[in-house]
């Protein structure tokens, strides 16, 4: 029996797509458990680039089943577009994809409200992806949401949709002064899409549990990152789901105690998209160089990512709350030629050094990062495949991060291709055991 989770250690965009793709190679079932099409997982296969938003990262592998777990919010139009895009490129999506009927649906009114609320918040906005994620999760918690399986019962669905729209349209018209959403078109179109995906809708929890019981390899695919987690992250500048290890049981129906291995992906520096605290953030020339070298533009929205040094306080905190077995370090190649590198090792607030990662966004915005300077390296490392062949300063940088996190670095990625990866000095050859 074997289950492995791969999650994000920072604010998302850590390069999980490539890692999940490589682990999916040996997986029988790949399961997304949180978020929606706010995610953007990039996978490069030879000269082909795939960006997955909603569909799990095992979809390109023959023999791997992929489940959109019950913890997701599913935009039906976005799902269809992504399915059709893959089918057009020869991927047998319908053979390899399943959707948990308990997952919630994102309707156009959720996207509409997402934008309106951001406008309403003005300077206090979150900087969401505008995909309707927050409003759909809010409905789930308010018990006014509609689930994927509800679409298979047209009368029940029509009743729920009518009630939801009455409330949403009151908000859209009366509070925000916008045009209401149309009921009949939305109902018809949703049922049309439901027919198309009918055969893919399953009891996802049952699927995961039986796969695990049968000794199959199950890979849980995280989206976003720990610092965007609704509870552990930099609230309120977070997404609306449980992005860390804690989200897996709730978001899939797989018992929490059945997770055998917990891995997280982190960049060798830090990025963040959207608003919110970012203690190790850089501005000016170094930030611009990092953004260019790392091609730091959002895979979903195209927004330029904010860039900063590796923040070991964030990393330690995220290792701790997730209880990790190992780390996968990505984008190490991006740091070649940067000169001396800084790592944030602690935070100063007023006269004192903070003992951990503070809960309050206001404290996070006032604190001063304390840095440790480390020598950089100039060599291109994109062709290196063994830890011992990395430049000495680069090895030391990796060792320093490992020691700061107190967690072994299992893999180091030195470029976007599947092959550009090496086993860390203390890494295991087989990540499934
Ligand atoms: P939402 O998930 O669209 O509600 O956005 C909430 C916050 O999470 C915003 O700061 C987004 O930029 C951020 N976010 C959501 N998904 C991702 C992601 O996949 N990568 C990086 N940031 C994300």
37-96: pLDDT as tens digits: 999 888 888 889 999 999 999 999 999 999 999 999 999 999 999 999 999 999 999 999
Find the CATH number of the domain harbouring 313: 3.40.440.10
User: Of 199, 224, 248, which residue sits at a domain end?
Assistant: 199
pLDDT digits 0-9 by tens, 238-255: 999 999 999 999 999 999
Among 82, 149, 37, 104, residue whose Cα is nearest residue 251: 104
Shortest-distance atom of ligand 1 to CA 38: 16
> In the prediction, which pLDDT does 303 show?
86
Shared domain check, 95 and 112: no
Question: How many domains is the chain partitioned into structurally?
Answer: 2
Catalytic residue among 21, 25, 28, 41: 41
The Cα-based distances of 102 to 58, 76, 232 in angstroms read 21, 14, 24
- pLDDT exceeds cutoff 80 at 153: yes
> In the prediction, which pLDDT does 89 show?
96
Please check whether residue 152 lies inside any domain of the structure: yes
Shared domain check, 257 and 194: no
Residue 292 is classified by DSSP as H
Distance of alpha carbon 74 from alpha carbon 80, whole angstroms: 10
Distance of alpha carbon 329 from alpha carbon 411, whole angstroms: 6
For the chain, give percent helix, strand, coil, nearest 5: 40, 20, 40
Write the residue with the smallest CA distance to atom 16 of ligand 1. Answer: 38
Longest pairwise C-alpha distance within the chain = 67
- pLDDT exceeds cutoff 60 at 161: yes
Distance of alpha carbon 360 from alpha carbon 430, whole angstroms: 39
- Tell me the mean pLDDT in the region 370-384: 98
- pLDDT exceeds cutoff 80 at 300: no
Helix (H) or strand (E) holding 286: helix 285-293
Shared domain check, 242 and 366: yes
Shared domain check, 147 and 43: no
Please check whether residue 128 lies inside any domain of the structure: yes
How many angstroms does the Cα of residue 221 sit away from the middle of ligand 1?
A: 16
Distance of alpha carbon 249 from alpha carbon 253, whole angstroms: 5
Shortest-distance atom of ligand 1 to CA 128: 5
The Cα-based distances of 381 to 32, 172, 227 in angstroms read 32, 53, 29
- Tell me the mean pLDDT in the region 352-374: 94
Q: What percentage of the chain exceeds 90 in pLDDT?
A: 91
Please check whether residue 431 lies inside any domain of the structure: no
Verify whether residue 21 is a known catalytic residue.
no
Burial class (CB within 10 angstroms; exposed 0-12, middle 13-18, buried 19+) of 340: exposed
> In the prediction, which pLDDT does 319 show?
98
> In the prediction, which pLDDT does 299 show?
76
Verify whether residue 13 is a known catalytic residue.
yes
Write the residue with the smallest CA distance to atom 19 of ligand 1. Answer: 39
Shared domain check, 115 and 63: no
Q: Phi and psi for 270 in degrees, rounded to 5?
A: -130, 145
Please check whether residue 209 lies inside any domain of the structure: yes
State the Rg of the chain over Cα. Answer: 22
Give the residue, out of 15, 32, 139, 274, with the most ligand 1 atoms within 8 A of its beta carbon, to mutate for a pocket test. Answer: 274
- Count how many Cα atoms sit within 13 Å of the Cα of residue 246 in the half-sphere of its side chain: 14
| pLDDT bucket at 1, cuts 50 / 70 / 90 | low
Domain encompassing residue 168: 104-199
Q: What percentage of the chain exceeds 70 in pLDDT?
A: 100
Shared domain check, 23 and 144: no
The Cα-based distances of 316 to 82, 140, 264, 311 in angstroms read 36, 32, 12, 9
Shared domain check, 296 and 404: yes
Shared domain check, 228 and 111: no
């Amino acid at each position: 029996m074997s289950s492995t989770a791969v999650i994000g250690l920072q604010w998302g965009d850590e390069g999980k797509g490539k890692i999940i793709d490589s682990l999916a190679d040996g997986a029988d079932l790949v399961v997304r458990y949180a978020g929606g099409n706010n995610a953007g997982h990039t996978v490069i296969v030879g000269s082909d680039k795939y960006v997955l938003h909603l569909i799990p990262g095992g979809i390109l592998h023959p023999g791997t089943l992929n489940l959109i777990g019950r913890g997701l919010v599913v935009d039906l139009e976005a799902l269809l577009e992504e399915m059709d895009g893959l089918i057009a490129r020869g991927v047998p999506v319908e053979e390899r994809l399943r959707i948990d009927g308990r997952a919630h649906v994102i309707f156009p009114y959720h996207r509409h409200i997402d934008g309106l609320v951001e406008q309403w918040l003005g300077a206090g906005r979150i900087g969401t992806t505008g995909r309707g994620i927050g409003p759909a999760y809010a409905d789930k918690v308010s018990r006014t949401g509609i689930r994927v399986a509800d679409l298979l019962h047209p009368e029940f669905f029509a009743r729920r949709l009518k009630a939801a729209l009455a409330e949403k349209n009151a908000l859209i018209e009366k509070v925000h002064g916008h045009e209401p959403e149309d009921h009949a078109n939305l109902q018809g179109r949703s049922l049309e899409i439901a027919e198309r995906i009918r055969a893919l809708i399953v009891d996802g929890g049952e699927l995961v549990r039986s796969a695990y019981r049968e000794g199959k390899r199950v890979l849980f695919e995280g989206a976003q990152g720990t610092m965007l987690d609704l509870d552990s992250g930099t609230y309120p500048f977070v997404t609306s789901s449980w992005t860390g290890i804690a989200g897996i049981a709730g978001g899939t129906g797989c018992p929490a105690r059945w997770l055998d291995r917990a891995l997280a992906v982190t960049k060798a520096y830090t990025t963040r998209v959207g608003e919110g605290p970012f203690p190790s953030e850089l501005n000016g020339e170094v930030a611009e160089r990092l953004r260019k070298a790392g091609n730091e533009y959002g895979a979903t929205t195209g927004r330029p990512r904010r860039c900063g040094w590796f923040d070991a306080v964030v990393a330690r905190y995220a290792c701790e709350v997730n209880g990790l077995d190992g780390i996968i370090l990505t984008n190490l190649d991006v740091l070649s030629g940067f000169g001396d590198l800084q790592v944030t090792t602690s935070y100063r607030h007023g006269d004192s050094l903070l003992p951990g990662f503070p809960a309050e966004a206001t404290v996070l915005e006032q604190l001063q990062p304390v840095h440790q300077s480390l020598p950089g390296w100039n060599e291109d490392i994109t062709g290196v495949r063994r830890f011992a062949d990395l430049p000495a300063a680069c090895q030391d940088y990796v060792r320093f991060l490992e020691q700061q996190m107190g967690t072994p670095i299992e893999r180091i990625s030195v470029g976007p291709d599947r092959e550009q990866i090496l086993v860390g000095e203390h890494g295991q050859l087989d990540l499934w055991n």
